[in-house]
Amino acid sequence: MKAIRVDYSPSVNGVVQIPGSKNSSLALLAAACLSDETITFQGIPNIADFRVISEMGKEVGLNMKRERNGEVSIDPRSIFSTSFDPKKSSSFRTAYYFIGALLAKYGKVSVGYPGGDDFVSRPIDQHIKAFEMMGATFTYHQDYYEVEAKELHGATVYFDTITSGATINAMLAAVRAKGETVLLNAARDPEVIDTAIFLNKIGADISGAGTDTIRITGVTQLQGGSHRVIPDRLIAGSFLIAAGVAGGNVTVTDVIPEHLGSCIAKLEEVGVEIDVQDNAITARSTGKLAASRIRTGMYPSFPTDLQQPMTTLFTQAEGKSIVAEKIYPNRFKHVGQLRKMGADIRMRTGVAFVKGKSSLQGSIVMASDIRAGISLILAGMVAKGTTYITGVEHIERGYEDVIRAFHSIGVQIKKEDIQFGLDNQVLGEVK
């Protein structure tokens, strides 16, 4: 079985160049299908979700190609079907963006139910509400659902909860819908803004992205164009947190520091020195970490996707820390694994109480999702001995080359094919 092996790496030092954002890329790849010409993107990471989208797209005539220079070109003109393979489209979260992007153009789209990281409950009722208000109807089948609209029209949609996915999806649908759409209580995430900037570049009429009210006036045509994806703020945040966990100096480059406001503030609060430059950030450990609390929330609050690495950091801070998960109250699968490594964490619904500083021990642990995996790599850096992390495929949904990235800050890490025994012991490496 593939596993990531992390050996005790008590101090990290180095520079990490941050790739394009996975979450923005997933929206942009679908958004490109709104165009009537060819689109080129720079910075789309070569992660598993990208590969499955290009395979699933190929089956319906969507021409998506990664060029030698890393750019991704997309030609939506040859699409001949909008029925996506249920299995492929269910293997990641955002196949639903293809509904938003293709509904106005083709009148009917079918995709598998959303996959991606599993936090027990990830409803899509707000996506459905927005589409229905714009004139769409839904039919649910065993492993896929169909959405139809003879003519998609603008609507005023108030989101009952702030959701980046439904905000982006409704915005995509509204770009080619008839008339004006107003999205109220919209998400303000950088990925929403990035998608709107790209769409406006190719001829959409969107204003207000980045505020809680977005207005979109439908257009009938969109031209081709080129766009660079924003940097991945979640990868950047994880590496800054790594410096706090293990000690040392980590610089992340090619970032937009404003996207990391809450993370920077929290790291400073616990005693990590932060130096912000134009498009780089350095985190410098002071050798001491204070306990603190985080409460996740939608942007610009502390991101749920950095809750897990921060939980690992709190295991190394002196005193009692509190992690309140307000976006996905069940997103705590990493806690059991951290406990296995010796962390002192008590749970109540939606809240983890972390008592530090714990001396962690290498162990065999399981990454249930991308960020849980990162929190375990960080724990492995400071655990005595060797940590083996299974569930590598989950981590690779978010990281193009997680090994190289952690190597660049001096972590002793590699991917191995390990044979585990029935009692969950390491029998050896499969040669």
Ligand X SMILES: CC(=O)N[C@H]1[C@@H](OP(=O)(O)OP(=O)(O)OC[C@H]2O[C@@H](n3ccc(=O)[nH]c3=O)[C@H](O)[C@@H]2O)O[C@H](CO)[C@@H](O)[C@@H]1O
Three-state SS for 97?
A: helix
Exactly one of 6, 230, 317, 370 binds ligand PEP (CB under 6 A); that residue is 370
- In the list ligand X, ligand PEP, none, the entry touching 89 (Cβ below 5 to 8 angstroms by class) is none
Counting residues that bind ligand X (by CB under 6 A) gives 21
Name the minimum Å distance from CB 427 to ligand X: 35
Name the minimum Å distance from CB 370 to ligand PEP: 5
Binding to ligand PEP (CB under 6 A) within 390-419 occurs at: 398
The residue number whose beta carbon is nearest to ligand PEP equals 116
The helix or strand, by DSSP H or E, that contains position 167, with its residue range, turns out to be helix 164-175
218: Cβ contacts below 8 Å, ≥ 6 apart: 104, 154, 174, 175, 176, 177, 178, 179, 180, 181, 205
Name the minimum Å distance from CB 365 to ligand X: 21
Taking Cα atoms as reference points, which of 225, 356, 191 lies closest to residue 288? 356
Q: How far apart, in Å, are the Cα atoms of 236 and each of 19, 232, 387?
A: 9, 6, 23
Asked whether position 188 contacts ligand X by CB under 6 A, the answer is no
Exactly one of 76, 116, 218, 244 binds ligand PEP (CB under 6 A); that residue is 116
Q: Is 23 annotated as a binding residue?
A: yes
Q: Which residue in the list 75, 85, 117, 232 is annotated as catalytic?
A: 117
The residue range among 72-80, 117-125, 214-222, 335-343 that interacts with ligand X, by the rule CB under 6 A, is 117-125
Give the nearer residue to ligand PEP in terms of CB position, either 315 or 375.
Answer: 375
d(CA 389, CA 406): 14
Backbone angles phi, psi at 285, to 5 degrees: -75, 145
d(CA 374, CA 389): 10
Residues in the chain: 431
The residue range among 51-59, 63-71, 119-127, 178-186 that interacts with ligand X, by the rule CB under 6 A, is 119-127
Q: Is 397 annotated as a binding residue?
A: no
Give the nearer residue to ligand PEP in terms of CB position, either 108 or 334.
Answer: 334
Active site residue 275: no
Q: Which residues pair with 352 in a beta bridge?
A: 323, 347
Give the nearer residue to ligand X in terms of CB position, either 75 or 117.
Answer: 117
- In the list ligand PEP, ligand X, none, the entry touching 124 (Cβ below 5 to 8 angstroms by class) is ligand X
276: Cβ contacts below 8 Å, ≥ 6 apart: 257, 264
d(CA 137, CA 389): 43
Name the minimum Å distance from CB 59 to ligand X: 22
Asked whether position 164 contacts ligand X by CB under 6 A, the answer is yes
Binding to ligand X (CB under 6 A) within 276-315 occurs at: 303-305
Q: Is 122 annotated as a binding residue?
A: yes
Give the nearer residue to ligand X in terms of CB position, either 224 or 309.
Answer: 309
Binding to ligand X (CB under 6 A) within 386-425 occurs at: none
Taking a C-beta distance cutoff of 8 angstroms, is the pair 179, 154 a contact?
A: yes
* Dihedral sign of CA atoms 5, 9, 15, 20 in order: positive
Asked whether position 371 contacts ligand PEP by CB under 6 A, the answer is yes
Taking a C-beta distance cutoff of 8 angstroms, is the pair 17, 239 a contact?
A: no
Asked whether position 161 contacts ligand X by CB under 6 A, the answer is yes
Q: How far apart, in Å, are the Cα atoms of 224 and each of 36, 44, 82, 147, 338?
A: 7, 17, 21, 26, 48
Return left, alpha or beta for 135; rule: phi > 0 is left, psi -120 to 50 is alpha, else beta: left
Annotated binding site: 22-23, 93, 122-126, 305, 327
Binding-site ranges for ligand X (CB under 6 A): 23, 26, 93-94, 122-127, 161, 163-166, 187, 303-305, 327-328
**Catalytic residue numbers?**
117
Binding-site ranges for ligand PEP (CB under 6 A): 22, 93, 116-117, 305, 370-371, 398
